Structure formats: structure tokens, C-alpha cells
Amino acid sequence: MDKKKFFNIDQNTLKVLVTPLDWGLGHTTRCIPIIKELLKQGCQVIVAGPESLKIALHQEFPDLKFLPLVGYQISLSRKPRWFLAKMVLQFPRIIHTLYYEHKWLKNIIKTENIDIVISDNRPGVYSNNITSIYITHQLSIKTNSRLGDYFSNKIHRHYIKKYTACWVPDSKENSLAGQLSHLSPLPLNVKYIGVLSRFEKVPSKTTGENYLVILLSGPEPQRTILEKQLLAQLNQIENQVLFVRGTLTNDAPVLPRLKNVIIKNYLNSENLNSALNSASLIISRSGYTSIMDYVALQKRAVLIATPGQAEQEYLAGYLSDKKYFLGVSQQIFELKKAVEQGKNSEYTPPSFQMDEYKKVIRELVTTHKSKNFAPQV
């Protein structure tokens, strides 16, 4: 087999394929700082995923080549007690997509001459012929079921071991994700790359005690359920509110105008970075990408876990217990009360070194260019 067919060892420009999972926007947006650093290191980046991912990333990187790749299209149950059951019913489609993406990658490596693939939580996007990087903060998956935990983790670890390296966006010692990002025994290919974010803390001239930012995200129908719940309570507070719906579809229903409320379907990184820096408090899901963003910006936040989603429920409880952020159940959520509690000074986001991932990427690129990291062929 000709190595040059699979690896551009005579070229200075590395071609990197990035494939985020289409579960909400978190997996996509946390790939933004990774893509930026790859571009900074002179790599040619190609992104693959469904149309929603393309819309989000093209606002950040309009010149990047995009390849269509079917998403997992996961939907959630309206009632928490049926969350696991609905996930089980979708399991055949998930397995089909996993095998499809693996077969798809084999062809793309040849046609696009890919050197490195970076998959954010898409287990099937790996190859023995090129360096394959898997990104996940869930080394230990939680499902609210011992049996579900056992089988989910067994399958997940099987695929993690197929990758050249598994990058965990967390710190090994002072962990932000707690039990989620740790595992015993730890697979040999796991590397902690530190907390990362597409945002940076900058001085804001408009920060006020009353400026509230609400960020929605995640799969349907739970995104819409929380949206309706929050909209119904906005008249109970006097805050200036920026309400970001977290939807990229053109068919999203138009919401009524509300006093002191600005509603946006989506904001690109630059505009959202500015808005969050100005916020006195943020209300959002307890998705891990969002949490990393609030750490980067050192912003207080109220975290509402998606009902039935064990990972988010664990993070909201874990971080609330540590007094980093206030975690509130959606079932008993009261906006006015949450705003008052969220500003309590006892909740203080932790500090982390935010550029460790850059060093990891530089090492990856340098090693490839020096031909010391030849792929298995």
C-alpha cells in the first residue's frame, strides 16, 4: 500500500477532517477553537456533517470546505421517565449511522487525501490508515440505569480504543466534568487537553446588574418545551433579556415581541461572545460545552438539565454542590427565583488554564510534519 495515498508525507500542508456530533450545537461549537488552532498551524480543514452543522460553522468559517454526512438525528422523549426507552428504540438507527460513517470515511480518505480525522463523539469516524482523534468528555457514560451504564460504556470503550488518541476536554486533576471525564482503568490512548472554549473574557462597557442572557440548545422536543416555559415567565422579571433560541432552521415559529426582551434564533461566536461578556447572569442547559464557556468568561450561570438526560443532570448537581454554578430542575424552575439565587455570590465559577489544547494541537501538527507520527498501514 502506498503511504502517499493516505498521508501527505511530501507535502507541508496537512489535511484535517473534523466531524462533530449533531446532538444540539455543543459538539459543533466546541470544535470552533480546535479548527481555529488547526488553521493557525497551517492545516487545511474540511468539515463534515448535516446541514444544520454547515449553517453554524459557515458563519464562523465561510471559506471552509464542507462535506455532507448524515447525522444521528437523535430526538428526546417529552417525559423524562421515557428518556432511556426512547434512546433504546433509536439504537438500531444509531448503529446503522455508526457503520455508515465508518464506510463513508474510507472513501473520503481516498478522494480528499485526508491526513488526520478529528471526530467529536462520532464513534465510527476512525481509520487504521490515518491518525484518528476522538473527542469526548464522557469517558463514563451515565444513563440513569445500571444496565444502560454497563452496555453504553462497554460499547463506547470499544470504539475509543480504535482511535489513535482520545482527547478529553478537561483537566485530569482538578476536574470540571467530575466522574464523566474519568475512568479506571484509563485507556492508554486518553489525553486530557484541558478546558477549552471559543470565547474569551473581554472588558464590556454595557455590563449591568439587570442584563440577563438566556441560551437554549439541545435536541427537540425538549428545547421547545423549555423555550415555552421560559417565555411564559419573562413578564415576572424586570431584567433586560437577550433570548437566544439556539435554532438554525428557517421554519422556527416567530415569537411574539416582549417588553425588554430581544429574541434571536442564533448568534455567531463574535456576537455571542460580546453578549455573554455583558451579561450579569446566564440561564441555559447544563451542557458541558456551555459550562466550559462560562468558565472561560468567569460568568455566573443557572443550569437547567434536560429532563431524563443523565449526563446533564449529573453536571448540574455536581457543579451546584461545588458552588460553581446554580443547578435547578426544569420541573420546579421559577425564573424570578432563579435570577435572584443565581446572582448569589456563593456561586463562583472555577478558573482553569484555557490554552492547553493549543499545545496538544501544535504537537500533533509538528509530529506529523516531522514524519515521526507515521500512521499504521
- Distance of alpha carbon 23 from alpha carbon 52, whole angstroms: 11
Whether residues 121 and 223 fall in one domain: no
Residue 347: inside a domain: no
Among 27, 30, 70, smallest CA distance to 48 is for: 70
Q: Is the pTM of this model over 0.85?
A: yes
Q: What's the pLDDT tens digit per position in 54-93?
A: 888 988 999 999 999 987 766 655 666 655 566 665 567 7
pLDDT confidence of residue 55: 86
Does 236 share its domain with 192?
no
Give the Cα separation of 123 and 102 in Å (integer).
9
Same domain, 159 and 245: no
Indicate whether 304 and 324 sit together in one domain. yes
- Report the alpha-carbon distance of residue 309 to residue 331 in Å, rounded: 13
The residue ranking higher by pLDDT, 96 or 348, is 348
In a shared domain, residues 55 and 132: yes
Could you tell me if 173 and 218 lie in one domain?
A: no
Q: Would you say residue 249 has pLDDT above 80?
A: no
Q: Which three cell numbers stand for residue 84?
A: 432511556
**187 and 223 assigned to the same domain:** no
Same domain, 190 and 219: no
Q: Quick one: pLDDT at residue 80?
A: 61
Chain-centroid distance of CA 369 in Å reads 29
Backbone angles phi, psi at 56, to 5 degrees: -65, -50
- Is the domain of 360 the same as that of 338? no
Please tell me the total count of domains within the chain: 2
Residue 12: inside a domain: yes
Diameter of the chain measured on Cα atoms: 67
Residues 145 and 272 in one domain: no
- 271 and 239 inside one domain: yes
Tens-place pLDDT, residues 88-114: 655 677 777 888 999 999 999 999 999
Q: Please, are residues 193 and 225 in contact by the beta-carbon 8 Å criterion? A: no
Is 42 within the bounds of a domain?
yes
Band of pLDDT at residue 244, cut at 50, 70 and 90: very high
Outline where DSSP puts E strands in the chain. 15-20, 44-49, 65-68, 116-120, 131-135, 165-168, 190-192, 211-215, 240-244, 261-264, 281-285, 301-304, 326-328
Please indicate, yes or no, whether residues 60 and 38 belong to a single structural domain of this protein. Answer: yes
Containing structural domain, residue 291: 211-342
Please check whether residue 376 lies inside any domain of the structure.
no
pLDDT at 2: 40
Determine the pLDDT at residue 71.
77
- Residue 221 belongs to a domain with what CATH number? 3.40.50.2000
pLDDT in the model for residue 7:
41
- pLDDT category at 52 given cuts 50, 70, 90 is confident
| Mean pLDDT of the chain, nearest integer | 87
